[in-house]
Every structure is written in structure tokens, then in C-alpha cells.
Amino acid sequence: MLKKKDKYVVAVVGATGAVGNEMISVLEKRNFPVENLRLFASERSAGKTLDFNGKPVTVETLTDKVFDGIDIALFSAGGDRSKEFGPAAAKAGCVVVDNSSAWRMDPEVPLVVPEVNPDDLDWHKGIIANPNCSTIQMVVALKPVHDAAKIKRVVVTTFQSVSGTGKNAMDELLNQTTDVLNFKNPNPSVYPHQIAFNCLPHIDVFMDDGYTKEEIKMVKETTKIMGDDSIKVTATTVRVPVFRGHSESINIETEKKLTANDARAAFSAAPGVIVYDAPEKNIYPLQTVCADKDEVYVGRVREDDTIENGLNIWIAADNLRKGAALNAVQIAEELIKRA
């Protein structure tokens, strides 16, 4: 459990990665009460420095001995590191907020989006899981609809940027784009196919039933976070040649009728949501609009008249910010409030 203090010793594990870098910047921007920031990554990065509040902080090699004296550790170094080092960190008295999928579906570990289920933080045992990026932005938008009209079923298709795969994938998109524009054959390495000028209906590995693990994560994580097993979710997840920000097309079936105007009113009142919906002025959520922003943008709100009570919406959010780093830091802030 986190003890109340004026300032905390905070660790970012995976500090040199796409999410880790964003965590450092979010801690700085939100003026998080940091007494001392410790940065960890692999041996490859040991000795490098990263700036925090204008001062260089040296990156250290992650081992299971480093956690003594650390109050909060934000993990984003991949599931294997979370499995290996998360329990050691918790045992040393540190509260772990983990970005990987290692602990998300563990019944002993709360899976939290502060706008949706902050009270689940009350039963953590040292590790708290941060959901998948595409799930986080979806549940922030679904919550006000569920509260107003009870969701029965969700059909979602995602359009996910390459930063969701990390820094190597961002380099791959940049290099392939340059190659194609220079009439060279692009060389896929992070993804199984060319990602420049292409869309891949394939995120994470395929399961026996033909769905990808990313699609299954969206299904299972949504019911866990919303605390309602009756919500049916089906997903198709697509990687698109965009650097930052995920968009999603979401069809929602509800028990009660919500008009498009009712839905817009519910979204407007919801924390963490910006209604961005004036199609007559070409205003709708875009990856270029949500990049570097904290909120989930919701637009193209329409009634689906092929079913009794249906809505179609289009949402966009920054996967590195709300989809990862910001959500983790908000969890830490919520823990401080409850300490």
C-alpha cells in the first residue's frame, strides 16, 4: 500500500522506450510529486541520460535488487520483464503500475482506467495493471453510454498507429516510407508485411479461433474494467501507417434508447472525453487532432437504425498518452489521493 508523503521516489522501468519516454514527459507536465526519479532499461542503455525537469537522469540496468526505497514503479519494458521483476518490486514495498499484458487478466490484479473503475484500486496487492491502449480509449467512451442506457453489445474496428508497437516500429514506418518514395523495395522486419502505404488486419499473434490476441484483449479487458460480464464485444484490430494515435469505429447496441443528441450530451458530461462532432464543418476525431492530447475525442455520433437501440461513433486518442503513460500516471495520482 502507498503511504502518504509529500513527494515520492518514482521509477520508470523501460524508460528509453516509446511509452517510458512519454511517462517521463507526463510526470513532468502534470507536476507529479517526485522526490527522486529513477530510470531503468536494459544493459544496452545503462549510463545514457534522459532529461527530467531540465536535469539529466542516468539510466540504470534493471535488476530485482533495485526496488528498495522506491514508492511507485511505472513498468513499460514488456511482459517478460513485468513477470520477472513486478513481484520483486511489490515485495520490496513498491506499488507497481504495469503497462504490459502480463497481469491484466489475473483476478488478483485490478485493471484500471481512472475515469471508469477507480474504486478497483482499493483491492490491489502491490501490482495494478494498465489496460491495452485500444481498450483504454474505448472504455472511456463506452462508460457514459453504459451508465445512461446499459450496453448490450459492441462491434469495434480499430485503426492503430505503429507507435503502439514501440520505437522500432516507428523507425520501420519512417524507413519504409522513404524507401517506397525512392523506388526501393521496403524491407519488413517488425511487421510481417510492408506497413508503409498499407493496412494490416493483424495485431499481436493469431489464436486458434482466427482472432488476434489484440482482439481478445479488447473483449476480455472491457468486461473486467466495466465490471459487467454481460457486455458482448467483438473486435477487428488493424495496424495503419500512422505514427501516433489510434482511431476506432464503434457500433454500440444498448438496452434503452439513446438518441444521437442524448449520446452527445452524455459524452460531453463524461470525464476525459471531448465531443468533436461537427461534420458539416469537417470536424471529427483524427489522429492528427488527438496526438499529444490527454482526452479521448468522440465524433460522427449517429443512430444505427438497423437495430432497435443502436449508435455508431468514431473515436481517436493518443495511444502513448491516454493509451499508456497518462493512464498509468493517473492511476498513481489516484493512489496518492487514497493513501
Rank residues 232 and 293 by Cβ distance to ligand NAP and give the closer one.
293
Residue whose cell numbers read 478497483: 120
The reply on whether position 330 binds ligand NAP by CB under 6 A is no
Rank residues 44 and 257 by Cβ distance to ligand NAP and give the closer one.
44
Count CB neighbours of 10 within 10 A: 25
Cell of 284: 471529427
Choose the stretch contacting ligand NAP; rule: CB under 6 A; options: 42-50, 109-117, 205-213, 252-260.
Answer: 42-50
Count CB neighbours of 247 within 10 A: 24
Site for ligand NAP in 129-148 (CB under 6 A): 133
Selected from 8, 24, 72, 81, the binder of ligand NAP by CB under 6 A is 81
What would the x/- binding string for ligand NAP be over residues 255 to 274, using CB under 6 A? Answer: --------------------
Report yes or no: 276 and 283 within 8 Å, Cβ to Cβ.
yes
Cβ burial of 274 (10 Å; 0-12, 13-18, 19+) is buried
Cell of 125: 496487492
Cell of 321: 498518452
Element (H, E) at 87: helix 79-91
Q: How far is the CB of 233 from ligand NAP (least distance, A)?
A: 18
Q: Choose, from 94, 124, 146, 246, the residue flagged as catalytic.
A: 246
The reply on whether position 62 binds ligand NAP by CB under 6 A is yes
133 catalytic? Reply is yes
Choose the stretch contacting ligand NAP; rule: CB under 6 A; options: 41-49, 106-114, 116-124, 286-294.
Answer: 41-49
What number of residues does the chain have? 339
φ, ψ (nearest 5 deg) of residue 243? -80, -40
DSSP letter at 280 equals G
Selected from 8, 20, 57, 314, the binder of ligand NAP by CB under 6 A is 20
The reply on whether position 78 binds ligand NAP by CB under 6 A is yes
Rank residues 86 and 144 by Cβ distance to ligand NAP and give the closer one.
86
Q: Which residues are catalytic?
A: 133, 246
